[in-house]
Structure 1
C-alpha cells in the first residue's frame, strides 16, 4: 500500500489536524515507511504461537462476592450508613435534581 499527498491531506482532515503543504510532503515518506513496516510484520511466521493480551502472565486475584453482616463487606449496615446522609429517601441517598 502506498500513501500519496491526497491521502495524507484526507487523513489530516478526518483527524481535524491542520497541516500545511510542506508538512504533508514530509509525512508521505514517513507514513509509507510505517505501512511498509506493518506489511513486513505480516510475513512473520506465528504458527503455534498462542494469542496473548500481555507479555507477562497476569491473573486477577478475585474474592467471593458475598454480602454479610460484617461492616467490611458492606452488608447489613444500610441504616447506619443512611444515618450520615443529609437526605435519605426510600432507603437511598437523596440528591438534588441537576437536570431541569
Structure 2
C-alpha cells in the first residue's frame, strides 16, 4: 500500500508548479513511495553513534608548490597557436559582435 496518496502527490506537484496528468499522478505516487521507503531504510541504519561522512576518503590538495618560474615567450606561444594577429590569439567571432 502506498504511503503517499494521489492527493499528496498532486499537492506537491502544484507547489512545484508542475502540471501532471491523472496517469502521471498514479505512477509518481508509486515511484515516490519507493523513494520514501528507501530513505526510511537508510534512516534505520543511521544511528547517532555513526559519524556523518561526506567523503569516504580524506581529501588532500594535489596542487604543486607555487614557485616562481620564467614566463613563456610570447612569440613562441603565438607561433604554436592556430591563428594569431597583432601579437594576440585570433579566435572566431561570436554573437555577431562587430570586430
Deviation string 1:37-96 (CA, Å, 9 cap, x unpaired) is 3245445323461x4332233434220244513xxxxx232221113342234x431223
- Of structures 1 and 2, the one scoring higher in RCO (CA 8 A, sep 6+) is 2
RMSD: 3.5
Distance 1:52 1:79, change over 3 A: farther
Mapping of 1:50-89 within 5 angstroms?
51-69=52-70, 75-85=71-81, 86-89=83-86
Higher fraction of helix = 2
Q: TM-score, normalised by structure 2?
A: 0.54
- Secondary structure, aligned partner of 1:83: helix
Aligned residues: 89
Extract unaligned runs of 5+ from structure 1: 70-74
Distance in 2, matches of 1:35 and 1:20, equals 21
Q: TM-score, normalised by structure 1?
A: 0.54
**Structure 2 unmatched ranges of 5 or more:** none
Runs of 4+ in 1 over 6 A off after TM superposition: none
